[in-house]
Structure 1
Amino acid sequence: MKKLRTKQAVICFIGVAVCKLGFAGCYPFIPAYFAAAYLERGGRLLLGIGMFLGMAFMLPLTLMTKYVMTLLVTIVIIKLAEWVNKGCYTWIAAFGAGCSATLLSVFGEMLNVRDGMRTEMAVLEGVFIFAATMVLSRIIHSFLEFTFMNQPIPEIKSNEEEKLLTYAKSFQSLSDIFGRMNVEHTSFSAEEMGRMQNEITGKMCVSCDQCALCWEKDDSPMYGYLSSLLQSIREAGKTNRDIEKKMEEYCPYMQEMTAEALRIFEKASLNMAWYNRLVENREVIAEQLDAMAYIMEDCAKKQKNITEECRSNLQDIAYRARERGIKVIDEQLWEKENGRWQLVMKVMVKDGCVTTRELTKAVAGALNRRMIPEKDTKTLIGKGVNLYTYEEEPRFQAIYGVARMVKDGAAVSGDNFSFLEPESGKMVMCLSDGMGSGSLACKESEMVIELVEKFLEAGFDVETAARMMNSAMVMKGQEDLFSTVDISELDLYDGTCRFYKIGAAATFIRRNGIVECLISTSLPVGVSYKLDMEKSEKDLYNGDFLVMVSDGVLEYLHVPNPEETMQEIIESIETNNATILAKRILERVLLFTGGKAADDMTVLATAIWEK
Structure 2
Amino acid sequence: MAVFTRQRLRLSAGGAPPMRWVPGVRTSVWLWQAASAAGGALLGAGQVYGGAAPFGLAFVLGCPAGYAVAAGLGAATASLLLQPGILGIALAGSTLCAAVSRFAVKNRRVAAAVGLAVLAAMPPSFWFLRGSVTPSEVARLLCTGLLAALLGAGFAKLPLRQPKGLCLALAVAACCVQRFAAAAFAPGLALFAAAVFCCAVSGTLEQTAVLCIAFCAALTAADRALCPAACAVALGGLAAGCLFPGDRRRCAAVFAAGCGVGALALPDVSALLPLATGASAGLAVALALPQSLLQGLFPPPAPPLQAQPLHGAARRLAGVADTLSDIADTVTAVCDRQAPPKGETFDFVVEHIARTTCQGCTRRSACWVRGYSTAMDGLYQLKPTLETLGKVEVENLPGQLSVCIHPGDLCLAANHGYRLWRSRRQTRARAVMLRTALTEQYSALAGALAQLSAKLSQAGLPDPRRGEKVARFFADLGLETLECCAATDLTGRLSLTVTLPRTRFTETELDALTSEISRLCRRDMALPEVSHCRTVTTLTFSERPLFAAQFGAASRPAKGQTVSGDAFDQFCDAAGRAQMLLCDGMGTGRPAAVDGRMAAKLTAQLLRAGFAAESAARLVNVALNLKSADQESGATLDLLTVDLYTGRAGLFKAGAAPSFVVRGGTPYALEGNSLPMGVVDTLVGRSTAFSLDGGDWVVLVSDGALTDGSEWLLQQLQLCAKLGHTPDRAAETIADAAARRAGDKQDDITVEVLQLVRKGQ
Q: TM over 0.5, yes or no? A: yes
* Aligned amino acid, residue 580 of structure 1: R
- State whether structure 2 residue 362 is matched by structure 1 residue 204: no
Say whether residues 1:251 and 2:463 are aligned partners.
no
SS in 1 for 2:447: helix
| 2:566 pairs with 1:415 | yes
Task: Determine the C-alpha separation between the residues in 2 that align with 1:41 and 1:504.
Answer: 65
Of residues 579-588 and 230-239 in structure 1, the stretch that sits farther from structure 2 once superposed is 230-239
- In structure 2, stretches of 5+ residues that fail to align are 1-203, 220-224, 231-235, 241-246, 477-482, 499-510, 531-537
Quote how far apart the aligned CAs of 1:19 are.
12
CA 1:155 to 1:17, structure 2 compared with 1: closer, same or farther past 3 Å? same
Question: Once the 2 structures are TM-superposed, how far is the Cα of residue 279 of structure 1 from its aligned partner?
Answer: 1.0
Matched with 1:288 is 441
1:216 is paired with a residue whose SS is helix
Q: Which residue matches 2:716?
A: 569
Q: Tell me the distance in 2 between the aligned counterparts of 1:411 and 1:247.
A: 60
Q: Which amino acid aligns with 2:649?
A: C
1:196-275 equivalent positions in 2, closer than 5 A? 196-217=349-370, 221-230=374-383, 233=386, 244-254=397-407, 256-275=409-428
Quote how far apart the aligned CAs of 1:437 are.
5.3
List aligned pairs for 1:554-565, cutoff 5 A.
Answer: 554-555=706-707, 559=708, 562-565=709-712
Aligned to 1:57: 269
Contact residue 400 and residue 579 of structure 1 kept, 8 A:
yes
Residues 355 and 155 of structure 1: CA distance in aligned 2, closer, same or farther (over 3 Å): same
Query: Distance between the aligned counterparts of 2:460 and 2:336, measured in 1?
Result: 49
| Structure 1 residues 240 and 372, CA gap change in structure 2 (3 angstroms) | farther
Which of residues 470, 482, 485 is equivalent to 2:637?
485
Alignment of 1:44-83 (within 5 A): 45-50=257-262, 57-58=269-270
* 1:152–1:193 CA distance, 2 compared to 1 (3 A): closer
Deviation of 1:436 (Å):
5.3
1:510 to 1:461, Cα distance in 2 relative to 1, 3 A: same
- The separation in 1 between residues aligned to 2:485 and 2:297, in whole angstroms, is 16
Shift of 1:418: 1.0
The answer to whether the Cα contact below 8 Å between 2:661 and 2:699 also exists between their aligned partners in 1 is yes
Question: 2:659 maps to what in 1?
Answer: 507
Do structure 1's residue 432 and structure 2's residue 432 form an aligned pair? no
1:462 pairs, out of 613, 637, 645, with 613
1:408-456 deviation digits (Å, cap 9, x = unpaired): 6655544321113345242221112345556665454333222112222
CA–CA distance in 1 between the matches of 2:398 and 2:229? 128
**Kindly tell me: are residues 36 and 565 of structure 1, through their superposed partners in 2, closer, same or farther at Cα, counting changes over 3 Å?**
closer
RMSD: 5.5
Q: Is the 8 A contact 2:358 2:364 kept in 1?
A: yes
5 Å matches for 1:68-147?
Answer: 131=285, 133-135=287-289
Query: Cα distance, 1:587 vs. partner?
Result: 3.2
* Residue identity opposite 1:516 in structure 2: Y
Please give the residue correspondences for 1:587-602 in structure 2 after superposition, counting only pairs within 5 Å. Answer: 587-593=736-742, 598-602=746-750
| 2:730 counterpart residue number | 581
> What count of residue pairs does the alignment treat as equivalent?
501
1:472 match: 623
Tell me what 1:107 maps to: none
In 2, Cα distance between equivalents of 1:141 and 1:56:
38
* Deviations 1:33-54 (CA, angstroms, capped at 9, x unpaired): x997863454653333445987
Match of 1:446 in 2: 597
- Residue 552 (structure 1) aligned with residue 704 (structure 2): yes
2:128 counterpart residue number: none
String of CA shifts for 1:518-558, please: whole Å, max 9, x gaps: 44665543444443534434444443321112233333xxx
Q: Which has the higher contact order (CA 8 A, sep 6+)?
A: 1
> Which residue identity lines up with residue 269 of structure 1 in the other structure?
R
C-alpha spacing 1:345/1:243, structure 2 compared with 1 (3 Å): closer
CA distance in 1, matches of 2:248, 2:423: 87
Q: Deviations over 1:224-266 (max 9, x none)?
A: 2323333664589677999944224432334543453344233
1:184–1:276 contact (8 Å) kept in structure 2? no
Deviations 1:101-153 (A, max 9, x none): xxxxxxxxxxxxxxxxxxxxxxxx9xx98555323999999999968x99654
Matching residue of 1:603: 751
Q: 1:354 Cα shift? A: 9.1
The CA deviation string for residues 386-423 of structure 1, in whole angstroms up to 9 with x for no partner, is 998655x6554332212233556655544321113345
Structure 1 residues 345, 40: closer, same or farther in 2, change over 3 A?
farther
- Change in CA separation of 1:540 and 1:165 when aligned onto 2, cut-off 3 Å: closer
1:184–1:279 CA contact under 8 A, matched in 2: no
Task: Compute the displacement of 1:276 (Å).
Answer: 0.9
Is the 8 Å Cα contact of residues 488 and 498 (structure 1) preserved in structure 2? yes
Deviation at 1:272, TM superposition (A): 1.0
Aligned mates of 1:480, 1:166 — CA distance in 2: 37
Distance 2:640 2:272 in 1: 78
The one-letter code sitting in structure 2 at the alignment partner of 1:509 is V
SS in 1 for 2:579: strand
CA distance in 2, matches of 1:144, 1:40: 18
Describe how 1:9-20 pairs up with structure 2 within 5 A: none
Rounded to whole Å, the distance in 2 between the matches of 1:184 and 1:244 is 38
Residues in 2 aligned to 1:426 and 1:259: alpha-carbon distance in whole angstroms:
66
For 1:536, the equivalent position in structure 2 comes to 688
| Residues 185-204 of structure 1 aligned to structure 2 (within 5 Å) | 192-204=345-357
Q: Distance in 2 between matches of 1:244 and 1:346?
A: 78
Q: Specify which of 34, 39, 44 is matched with residue 251 of structure 2.
A: 39
Percent identity, aligned pairs only, is 21
Deviation track 1:350-390 (CA, whole Å, cap 9, x = no partner) reads xxx996557647867xxxxxx65465169xxxxxxx99865
Name the CA shift for 1:507/1:239 in 2 (closer, same or farther; >3 Å).
farther
> Is contact 1:575–1:581 with CA below 8 Å preserved after alignment?
no
Secondary structure of 1:221's aligned partner: helix
The structure that has the greater radius of gyration is 2
1:88 equivalent in structure 2:
none
CA distance in structure 1 between the partners assigned to 2:209 and 2:407 by the alignment: 107
Measure, in 1, the Cα distance between the counterparts of 2:459 and 2:632.
52
Q: 2:322 aligns with which of 145, 151, 169?
A: 169
3-state DSSP class of the match of 2:350?
Answer: helix
Quote how far apart the aligned CAs of 1:605 are: 0.8
Question: In 2 relative to 1, CA 184–547 (structure 1 residues): closer, same or farther, beyond 3 Å?
Answer: farther
Label 1:212 to 1:59 Cα distance change in 2 as closer, same or farther (>3 A). Answer: closer
Q: For 2:688, what is the secondary structure of its paired residue? A: strand
* Shift in alpha-carbon separation, 1:37–1:341, aligned structure 2, 3 A: closer
Cα distance in 2 for partners of 1:144, 1:535 equals 46
Aligned counterparts of 2:696 and 2:291: Cα–Cα separation in 1: 49
